Structure 1
Amino acid sequence: MALSELKSALPDYAKDIKLNLGRVLAADGMDGLSKEAVAGVALASAYATKNAAVITAITEEVTASDALVEAAKAAATIMAMNNIYYRFTHLVSDNQYAKMPANLRMNVIGNPGIDKVDFELMSLAVSAINGCGMCMDAHVAEVIKGGVKPAGVQTAIRIGAVLSAAAQALAIESV
């Protein structure tokens, strides 16, 4: 499914999402994010939605190296684990859990096979989709330290938000 087909598949009540889809994906160079960073964030966000149509449309729309695709898959997967674990430690009333070692392997974060800041942007967008505030704070700190401006952070979140909304509309329509 191409991006144009994805837009066509969205119902009238998701008109804003249709309009935003093309806009957020054309963000390369905008807000200081490279075309590769935008592609990586879009791919990782698409994988995080778990929606086959969104994943296919974004995979066909963006130009990405094998390394970028693998990193996007890794970001979506590692954040699926981390976002649940760290959201739990943050939200549970008993703070002893936050003090305990996670004992979860997360080596890909330290060696993602692509630019570390781009991987952190992907992880940030996925963490936003998954709703982990603790993880979002950690990734924002890393990307800002890596030179990304607040507008670039916002762009990454907008990409994740729009792709998540597209997946939501498609899920509603599939019932």
Structure 2
Amino acid sequence: MSALKTLAGELPAYAKDLKLNLSSLLTEQGLTDVQKFGTILACAHGTASKPLIAAAEADCADKIDEKTAEAARGAAAVMAMNNVYYRFTHLAGNEDYAKMPAKLRMNMIGTHGIAKADFELFSLAVSAINGCGLCIDSHEKVLGQHGVKAETIQTAVRIAAVMNGVATVHATL
């Protein structure tokens, strides 16, 4: 049994929907394995849940190469920073902030070493967890420019939603 399924099995009865959704997402056919398991890994790191991260790392180890895994981790790390900053510039009443240079290092965005669309998908999913509308719009636009279908994007966000739900409920146990 996968480590993620084992972790989901520890959830209480009221979280049965999370267990079922996680199980179906693990067998999802609408994404490549790189997209699916990279998104799972990025989202696990995006939740900052140590048990979920450990389970995702274990399940993804033989599904994606280390370069993809490192890019997924990097997407979570840079989105943890960017989502706060860009959510602020988007929500602040003073429009001057959006015109100012961010002055934040974001080298990972250009040096991840994997397919651009895959990295953008990971970043979009983590941005959905973090609730940054500006980042969601930006990544979704780039994905569209790379020919990524709406169904693929939706599936990545469904992964984000379920991973976040599992992390949230697991934290209460």
TM-score between the two structures when normalised by the length of structure 2: 0.95
Aligned residue number for residue 77 of structure 1: 77
AA aligned opposite 1:23: S
Report what 2:47 is aligned to. 49
For residues 58-97 of structure 1, the aligned pairs below 5 Å read: 58-62=56-60, 63-97=63-97
Q: CA deviation at 1:22?
A: 1.2
Unpaired runs of 5+ residues, structure 1, are: none
Cα distance in 1 for partners of 2:111, 2:145 equals 17
Which whole-Å CA distance do the structure 2 matches of 1:103 and 1:25 have between them? 38
Amino acid at match of 1:38: K
Q: Distance in 2 between matches of 1:97 and 1:137?
A: 18
**Kept after mapping to 2: 8 A contact 1:45/1:76:** yes
Name stretches of at least 5 consecutive residues in structure 2 with no aligned partner: none
> In the TM superposition, what is the alpha-carbon distance from 1:144 to its structure 2 partner?
1.1
Q: Give 1:161 deviation, angstroms.
A: 0.5
> Which residue pairs with 1:112 in the alignment?
112
Kindly provide the amino acid, as one letter, of the partner of residue 77 in structure 2: T
Alignment of 1:21-32 (within 5 A): 21-27=22-28, 29-30=29-30
Aligned to 1:5: 6
Query: 1:15-56: CA deviations, max 9, x gaps?
Result: 0000001111222x41xx211111111100000111111111
Whole-angstrom distance in 1 between the partners of 2:107 and 2:27: 31
d(CA) in 2 for partners of 1:89, 1:143: 22
**RMSD after superposition:** 1.1
Q: List structure 1 runs of 4+ shifted beyond 2 angstroms.
A: none
Supply the distance in 2 between the matched residues of 1:132 and 1:106 (Cα, whole angstroms): 17
User: Is the contact between residue 39 and residue 121 of structure 2 (CA under 8 Å) also seen in structure 1?
Assistant: yes
Aligned residues: 170
> When the two structures are superposed, what TM-score results if normalisation uses the length of structure 1?
0.94
Percent identity for Structure 1 against Structure 2: 49
- Structure 1 residue 106, shift from structure 2 partner: 1.1
State the secondary structure of the residue aligned to 2:101: coil
